[in-house]
Amino acid sequence: MKKSLEIGTSSVTPNLSDYEFLKNSFNWDREWQLMNGHAEKTGCNIAYQAIERHANGEIKDQVAIRCIQKDKTSKDFSYLELQNLSSRFANVLINLGIKKGERVFSLTGRIPELYISALGTLKTTAVFCPLYSVFGPEPIFQRLFKGDAKVLITTKILFEKKVKELLARLPSIQFILLTDENRDLDNKVLSLTRLMQAADDTFVIPPTRREDPALLHFTSGTTGMPKGALHVHGAALMHYITGKYVLDLHQGDIFWCTADPGWVTGTSYGILAPLINGVTNIVDEEEFDALRWYSILEEQKVTVWYTAPTAIRRLMRIDFQPTEKYNLEHLRLICSVGEPLHADAVLWGQKTFGFPILDNWWQTETGGIMIANYPSMKVKPGSMGKPLPGVEAAIAEITEHDIRLITEPGQQGHLVLKKGWPSMFCGYLHDEERYKKCFRDNWYLSGDLARKDEDGYFWFVGRADDIIKTSGHMVGPFEVESVLMSHPAVAEAAVIGKPDSMIGELVKAFVVLKTGFPADDKLKLDIIGFARKKSGPAVAPKQLDFVTELPKTKSGKILRRLLKARELGLPEGDLSTLEQT
């Protein structure tokens, strides 16, 4: 049995105090009523849940979003102010002739206009699609083109550098709205400032159905154009539930999600979940900087922090104890998502902050957290945790025509989810056939491999297309990387399968060392020997290269398929999300 940890003590009673009780008694309709009250027609609208009901209630003057700028100055927006500003933007879109279901894109940094335009778009029942501002022109073009963009909100510098040259290839775009320009450049490139000043600050949200499309998020594959996953207004319920039970948000909390809204995490949990749950949401305009992050946690008195394994690994590489330099007494919960969180990172959280970092699992397609560790539950370091109450997850064997659920504990198989959770994507834009292939017999096929232990905890094995077949064994990259990460010299690790005529594939590792360790053959043999002792010769890497960085997406996921392509001299596929280091 894997080692488990008790969650550290806190004066706040978790919203989910008894997992088994809630799981057995859970009812989606009851939770909808708790969130929605009686505003049925407009209450289905995500922006209503995030802004309107709070702005018309007791917390109207509470800070909804605090935007921290690069110079550390900040701008506060109360729920009432956010209501007025998002209503102005909604009227801007209506005055421009934008209709229900049409796509409104943003390409900005984490500036106030991004959040205001997101909420304003949702009010109108147009579909909002945020793009990551560090994308180059070609990935921007792919997404705008495939998404049939009608409106793009951006800045002058991003327009000039990345968008202007694309307009001839983007006939669907009717308007470019510049956030930092006081005058219109022509009939198509307009000043958002001017439009906002002229717009009314009241807006009546039209009747909205739960199944109406609300958000569009692009997710990349190994080849071809990125896929556009559509999400509906009914997803607000999932943002509410996961904010309440996984992130454990309470009135008075100060919440910070470090993800950019260009990724689904940055929208679902960097905008919607904290607002729907009525807490103060911290937004930092700057990119990762360890000391800046710790100072924000201290200065803003952050209570709940949601970040990514890549950031956690970077923090782990810094040789100092943050609680000795920064007052983090208000911080009671840290959650992580993006890549599986290795056990050593969970334990580092326990040692550093006094409580373990809680991993959770979900995908762009699921729209919200599906499997998680919870504040009231024992943590098994390295585990994904247990399914959210109301979500049915299982391990399955999948053939071309059939699906068989695996009930034996510890057996590896495909991770599948029973259809029916409210944030499940409703389609891939312009690709119905691909969407249909994601489902079998009422189960969503995640494409991930996992196993379930005797206590009901799920353990990530790897992407199905990353699995290494070596000497008759099916080896998941994550289990090998977890062993490598426990070596005192290893900061990061990634493994791939490399074709071998004798054993099918051999396991090859790419390792980033911690500062101060020499990248020599002696250490290489020591790490390989360490892995053989820990996991056995069939699973341990037979080859190992030291590298200075691992290729990652801009959201922090390690691109193993790119490592493999480069190792074998194969086409590298879609690199639109590659982090440039």
Residue 284, pLDDT above cutoff 60: yes
Over range 223-244, report the average pLDDT.
Answer: 91
List the single range of 198-207, 327-336, 445-454, 493-502 with lowest mean pLDDT: 493-502
Distances (CA, A) of 559 to 375, 430, 435: 31, 26, 23
Residue 474, pLDDT above cutoff 70: no
Residue 112, pLDDT above cutoff 70: yes
Each residue of 406-432: pLDDT tens digit? 999 999 999 999 999 999 999 999 999
CA-CA-CA-CA torsion sign (98, 104, 109, 114) = positive
Higher pLDDT: 16 or 538? It is 16
Residue 533, pLDDT above cutoff 90: no
Over range 201-216, report the average pLDDT.
Answer: 96
Q: What is the pLDDT of residue 3?
A: 57
Q: What is the pLDDT of residue 222?
A: 46
Q: What is the pLDDT of residue 530?
A: 93
Give 223's pLDDT tier (boundaries 50, 70, 90).
very low
Q: Are 111 and 179 in contact (CB under 8 A)?
A: yes
Over range 28-52, report the average pLDDT.
Answer: 86
Give 5's pLDDT tier (boundaries 50, 70, 90).
low
**What are 165-173's contacts with CB under 8 Å, separation 24+?**
165/137, 166/137, 166/140, 166/141, 169/141, 169/145, 170/141, 170/144, 170/145, 172/144, 172/145, 172/148, 173/144, 173/149
Q: What is the pLDDT of residue 1?
A: 38
pTM of the model: 0.86
Over range 176-182, report the average pLDDT.
Answer: 97
Q: What is the pLDDT of residue 230?
A: 98
Q: What is the pLDDT of residue 468?
A: 83
Each residue of 366-384: pLDDT tens digit? 999 999 999 999 999 999 9
Each residue of 506-529: pLDDT tens digit? 999 999 999 999 999 999 999 999
Over range 84-94, report the average pLDDT.
Answer: 98
Q: What is the pLDDT of residue 163?
A: 96
Q: What is the pLDDT of residue 573?
A: 65
Backbone angles phi, psi at 187, to 5 degrees: -70, -15
- Report how far residue 427's alpha carbon sits from residue 204's, in angstroms, rounded to the nearest whole number: 28
- Report how far residue 194's alpha carbon sits from residue 179's, in angstroms, rounded to the nearest whole number: 9
> What does the DSSP assignment read for 153-198?
EE-HHHIIIIIGGGGGG-TT--EEEETT-SS-SSSSEEEHHHHHHH
Helix axes 521-535, 477-485, angle to 10 degrees: 120
Q: How many helices (H) and strands (E) does the chain have?
A: 21, 28
Over range 123-134, report the average pLDDT.
Answer: 95
Q: What is the pLDDT of residue 41?
A: 67
Give 577's pLDDT tier (boundaries 50, 70, 90).
low
Over range 253-282, report the average pLDDT.
Answer: 97
Over range 271-283, report the average pLDDT.
Answer: 98
Over range 305-329, report the average pLDDT.
Answer: 92
Q: What is the pLDDT of residue 267?
A: 97
Q: What is the pLDDT of residue 581?
A: 45
Higher pLDDT: 538 or 95? It is 95
Q: Which one of 95-99, 217-221, 501-505 scores highest in mean pLDDT?
A: 95-99
Tell me which H or E stretch contains 483. helix 477-485
Residue 9, pLDDT above cutoff 60: no
- Report how far residue 355's alpha carbon sits from residue 348's, in angstroms, rounded to the nearest whole number: 9
Q: What is the pLDDT of residue 580?
A: 57
In the predicted model, what is the mean pLDDT of the chain? 92
Domains of the chain: 19-452 (3.40.50.12780), 467-568 (3.30.300.30)
Q: What is the pLDDT of residue 304?
A: 98
Over range 470-498, report the average pLDDT.
Answer: 85
Residue 146, pLDDT above cutoff 90: yes
Q: What is the pLDDT of residue 576?
A: 64
Over range 233-237, report the average pLDDT.
Answer: 97
Residue 2, pLDDT above cutoff 60: no
Q: Which one of 145-159, 338-352, 541-555 scores highest in mean pLDDT?
A: 145-159
